[in-house]
Structure 1
Amino acid sequence: MASLTDLGFAYSPSFTLERYKFLAPLFHNSFSIKPSSRISTRIKNHQSTSFIVTKPSKFREFRVFRSVELDQFLTSDDEDEMSEGFFEAIEELERMTREPADILEEMNDRLSARELQLVLVYFSQEGRDSWCALEVFEWLKKENRVDKETMELMVSLMCSWVRKLIEEEREVGDVVDLLVDMDCVGLKPGFSMIEKVISLYFETGKKEGAVSFVKEVLRREIVNAEDDGKGQKGGPTGYLAWKMMVEGNYHEAIKLVIHLKESGLKPEVYSYLIAMTAVVKELNEFAKALRRLKGYARAGLIAEIDVENVGLIEKYQSDLLADGARLSSWAIQEGGSSFNGVVHERLLAMYICAGRGLDAERQLWEMKLVGKEADADLYDIVLAICASKKETSAISRLVSRMEVMSSLRKKKTLSWLLRGYIKGGHINDAAEALTKMLDLGLCPEYLDRVAVLQGLRKRIQQPGNVEAYINLCKRLSDTNLIGPCLVYQYIKKYKLWIVIK
């Protein structure tokens, strides 16, 4: 994930931290420094009076004040090592009569790394001044005294503050302000805090808050994610849409991106691709639901889909495709030609899921033109869709590719072709495709042969189907794919039975 620097946090150079009185939350999960430092802290939510250091030399008294408790990992030897400077620093910082940086600069040589970590912990407690903790951390950064453990500690504290703000349903502006403060003091975790905040909103069941948060981030233009379209979630809009998709809310993810764009905000380019993926998934789920519905109707469990509902189904599908086309247009406009290939790839997936053969075929050639050749299996799938609707011109163009194919590839392509014909009810065309396979010396799959023969046999009473059935039986018999067969035909005019072998 991108860091806050990578995400382009923007703030004015003249910005100075105000003394925000953020109430730091109960730090539920213990934060433990690695065993080598032997320090582990737990923040507790005790309601007690203000902190007063009466005897700096006695660490036991500090240990029970307010809400700080140092656990058994801090030994008696460690307690003896705590200097008077540590307690003086706490007392001076509490008074707030001077800038924290001035106090710490004056006591720099008297405070150890462990003591500085405990100063951070102390001022991150419930009811303390989080501004002071941020100032302490900023000074540590300037003095190059922030090691990995201190960074992890501060990140954990900040995440706790954010969680507290979210749980208390504070304004999203307060959450964004805190993130800006974090960036200003140089807190750079190895992950995106924007994404962390969105996740926290989801974890606490406040998804609407996540939407409001993303809107505020975009409105302030504090994030300018660099989208490369290579698999990263890209920024706040894309990450939020991705979170919605993970929960199966595909349509919600689509509408989110479109709404933000049409509201005059500037979602990152990659969010359009995320939304297009959501369109593909929604179309796929819709197609599966529709197949189940038709299956129930065939089984007599429900009534057949009437004309009105058919119209609603087609409209819903068309609306999804229109959304996908709009998103693709934005992606190419804002992302440039480098996005052409991935955009056409998603458009292809959309039209395949919707069963739009001609549109899907056009995307195949578009991908080829921009140098992103589609997989051969995708050509076969599109061929089957076109065959199911008997799109003759498209079928001819797609089949022409077989001239440079291997025998195995030709067999696979022709198998998809005849299956498409069968699905669309074009049995005679399927028989021709099967015969072509035999002419090329290819052996059709058993189930394909059976499906075509059964389809012809069901229609044998119709004019012309007898010859097609007999011819196919003969071809299959000549190649030893079926045994000899007899066909009985009754000519009513002459009251004559004819047996054909």
Structure 2
Amino acid sequence: MALSSRAAAFPHISLPSPRPRVSLRPPPPAPRSLRLDRVVADTTAELGLDGGGGGGLLAAAIEHLEREPAFAGEGEDAAAAASAQLAALSPRELQLVLVYFAQEGRDAYCALEVFDWLRRANRVDGETMELMAAIACGWIERLVGGGGDVADVAALLGEMDCVGLRPGFSLVEKAVALYWDRGDRGSAVDFVRDVLRRGGVGVGVGVGDGGEYGGASDGERGGPVGYLAWRMMMDGDYRDAVKLIIEFKESGLQPEVYSYLIGLTALVKEQKEFSKALRKLNSSVKEGSISKLDSETMHSIENYQSELLSDGVLLSKWAIEEGSSDVLGLVHERLLSLYTCAGCGLEAEHQLWEMKLLGREPDTQLYDVVLAICASQGEVAAVRRLLAGVESTSAGRRKKSLSWLLRGYVKGGFYLEASETLMKMLDMGLYPEYLDRAAVLTALRRNIQESGSLESYMKLCKRLSETDLIGPCVIYLYVRKFKLWMMHML
């Protein structure tokens, strides 16, 4: 399809239509990292079009294209003549043609026509692609920097896509980055929405900023929604990134699959911040520096927590439905992190087994963390399942797992279970850390005051004394009825 026939599909684009001709003004600033700056200098003089005469085939081709646009003309003879002239030029001369028409006052639309011809003639090498990418970046920078309509930028990208411009990075992401870096976030969102409505422009072409965003596997590459959400996440706007993805999806647009993974990552980060804030809040309440939270505040906290988990389930559902089998492991991995940070033991355990079934063996410390959470919540069956393979591991591994289990019991207030776990470690020849032993003893002493039962405390003290982990100790008991103190040495 001729490029000129496509121009009508982009009526708002600032690139000129073949008749009448209008040039891009001012000239696009080319990125210094690309080679345009090495080619553009004194191009007119090199072409022999500055009044000095001469220029041979190159000058003749330029003059013909200026007089009669090669692929915009109505007659086939004119197009054939222009094609013949271009075919006679060397790769270097063809690059000069592109640069010439990309300059101020020239017919920028003709540069796209020439590149389209080069692609169809199979004459686009790596240098030419890099040069055209530099020219395209300059055009995008001019439109964005000049505050142009986002529809114009999207339409320009559509024209580039039509002529087969495939640089090693996404021009869509380039435009989003330009909007974002100049603080125009609203335009960045509107631009991505416009790109999605047009469909297919630059989606999945590549990634440009590395980091986690650049880690998608083939077939699940990043795109405009994922890149925009990633920029939001990098700025700490975790919740906004998630809302953006959900809004696009529910409004009938189609975000790329990888954007759901970005959203899940943002949810994990938001959950970490939320959990950290809750711990500080609860600590302040215990210290008495702030008053006890009222029922309305508690309800708001619970609602927010529920919303985070619901969004995680929603994003994972979309990712599994629309993604390949490679996505499943990544989804369960992020859900595991989300549930772990939220302290949801059974849900986190479920994700562990899902990952294991998919062949993505979770890190052993993840098992320990989930084990501690389940222990703190009194999930006996889950603890039993997670401990099933611990006894067959090394002594160091067993000690770590049982220490996490012990801490989980203490945190959840299950002091008798914590004491039993500690003695089980001693029976296995594993010596718990001092802080773990002290925590269990302190908890059991507190339990004596509440229940009046000495048995568990004395039993543990005796066992620790036998293994030389504590020195001789004296148990004091005051019988209030008889006003009698009783002493017993262990």
Same fold (TM over 0.5): yes
After alignment, is 347-356 or 290-299 more displaced? 290-299
Give distance in 2, aligned partners of 1:445 and 1:263. 55
Q: Secondary structure at the match of 2:407?
A: helix
> Which among 102, 112, 115 is matched to residue 124 of structure 1?
102
Give distance in 2, aligned partners of 1:98 and 1:143. 14
**Are 1:210 and 2:211 an aligned pair?**
no
Match of 1:56 in 2: 52
Question: CA offset at residue 361 of structure 1?
Answer: 1.8
1:32-73 CA distance string (max 9 Å, x none): 887xx99543699xxxxxxx957232xxxxxxxxxxxxxxxx
The TM-score, its normalising length taken from structure 2, stands at 0.83
Question: Structure 1 regions of 5+ residues with no counterpart?
Answer: 1-10, 45-51, 58-81
Give distance in 2, aligned partners of 1:33 and 1:172. 25
> Which among 170, 173, 176 is matched to residue 154 of structure 2?
176
Match of 1:312 in 2: 300
Give distance in 1, aligned partners of 2:388 and 2:99. 72
Give distance in 2, aligned partners of 1:391 and 1:226. 47
Match of 1:332 in 2: 320
Question: CA offset at residue 151 of structure 1?
Answer: 2.4
Q: Secondary structure at the match of 1:214?
A: helix
After alignment, is 249-258 or 338-347 more displaced? 338-347
After alignment, is 414-423 or 235-244 more displaced? 235-244
What amino acid sits opposite 2:418 in the alignment? A
1:91-150 CA distance string (max 9 Å, x none): 443334665855644544875544443332232233432101112223334455444333
Percent identical among aligned pairs is 52
Give distance in 2, aligned partners of 1:149 and 1:375. 45
**Are 1:356 and 2:344 an aligned pair?**
yes
> Which among 340, 345, 349 is matched to residue 333 of structure 2?
345
Q: Secondary structure at the match of 1:461?
A: helix
CA contact (8 A) 1:30 1:42 kept: no
1:409-465 CA distance string (max 9 Å, x none): 221111011111122233232222111111222110111111112222344323344
**Are 1:41 and 2:40 an aligned pair?**
yes
Report which of the two has the higher share of helix.
Answer: 2
Q: How does 1:374-385 map onto structure 2 within 5 Å? A: 374-385=362-373
Question: CA offset at residue 293 of structure 1?
Answer: 2.5
Mark the CA change 1:43 to 1:458 in structure 2 (over 3 Å): closer, same or farther: farther
**Are 1:83 and 2:71 an aligned pair?**
no
Match of 1:95 in 2: 67
What amino acid sits opposite 1:456 in the alignment? L
> Which among 133, 137, 161 is matched to residue 111 of structure 2?
133
Question: CA offset at residue 188 of structure 1?
Answer: 2.0
What amino acid sits opposite 1:55 in the alignment? G
What amino acid sits opposite 1:119 in the alignment? V
Give distance in 2, aligned partners of 1:240 and 1:135. 31
> Which among 296, 299, 315 is matched to residue 284 of structure 2?
296
CA contact (8 A) 2:26 2:142 kept: yes
Match of 1:23 in 2: 24
Give distance in 2, aligned partners of 1:380 and 1:97. 70
Mark the CA change 1:323 to 1:442 in structure 2 (over 3 Å): closer, same or farther: same
Mark the CA change 1:97 to 1:427 in structure 2 (over 3 Å): closer, same or farther: closer
Q: How does 1:185-224 map onto structure 2 within 5 Å? A: 185-223=163-201
Give distance in 2, aligned partners of 1:457 and 1:245. 47
Match of 2:145 in 1: 167
What amino acid sits opposite 1:452 in the alignment? V
Question: CA offset at residue 17 of structure 1?
Answer: 4.4
CA contact (8 A) 1:25 1:163 kept: no
The answer to which structure, 1 or 2, has the higher relative contact order (CA under 8 A, 6+ apart) is: 1
Mark the CA change 1:108 to 1:360 in structure 2 (over 3 Å): closer, same or farther: closer
Match of 1:72 in 2: none
1:220-246 CA distance string (max 9 Å, x none): 222564999648643222222222212
Deviant stretches of 4+, over 6 Å: 11-14
CA contact (8 A) 2:229 2:259 kept: yes
Q: Secondary structure at the match of 1:487?
A: strand
Question: Structure 2 regions of 5+ residues with no counterpart?
Answer: 9-15, 73-78, 207-214
Match of 1:401 in 2: 389
Mark the CA change 1:408 to 1:464 in structure 2 (over 3 Å): closer, same or farther: farther
CA contact (8 A) 2:329 2:360 kept: yes
Give distance in 2, aligned partners of 1:488 and 1:336. 66
For these two proteins, the number of residue pairs brought into alignment is 458
Mark the CA change 1:410 to 1:12 in structure 2 (over 3 Å): closer, same or farther: farther
Give distance in 1, aligned partners of 2:70 and 2:381. 82
> Which among 411, 417, 426 is matched to residue 429 of structure 1?
417
Q: CA RMSD in A?
A: 3.2
CA contact (8 A) 2:376 2:409 kept: yes
Give distance in 1, aligned partners of 2:137 and 2:227. 18
CA contact (8 A) 2:222 2:259 kept: yes
Mark the CA change 1:12 to 1:312 in structure 2 (over 3 Å): closer, same or farther: farther
What amino acid sits opposite 2:355 in the alignment? M
Give distance in 2, aligned partners of 1:94 and 1:448. 83
CA contact (8 A) 1:33 1:40 kept: no
Match of 1:392 in 2: 380
CA contact (8 A) 1:56 1:88 kept: no
What amino acid sits opposite 1:56 in the alignment? G
Give distance in 2, aligned partners of 1:12 and 1:493. 104
CA contact (8 A) 1:25 1:161 kept: no
After alignment, is 109-118 or 399-408 more displaced? 109-118
Q: How does 1:136-151 map onto structure 2 within 5 Å? A: 136-151=114-129
Give distance in 1, aligned partners of 2:389 and 2:34. 64
Give distance in 1, aligned partners of 2:391 and 2:50. 93
The TM-score, its normalising length taken from structure 1, stands at 0.81
Question: CA offset at residue 352 of structure 1?
Answer: 0.7
1:155-210 CA distance string (max 9 Å, x none): 11111111111223323322222122212223221222222222222222222222
CA contact (8 A) 1:435 1:472 kept: yes
Match of 1:49 in 2: none
**Are 1:451 and 2:439 an aligned pair?**
yes
Match of 1:500 in 2: 488
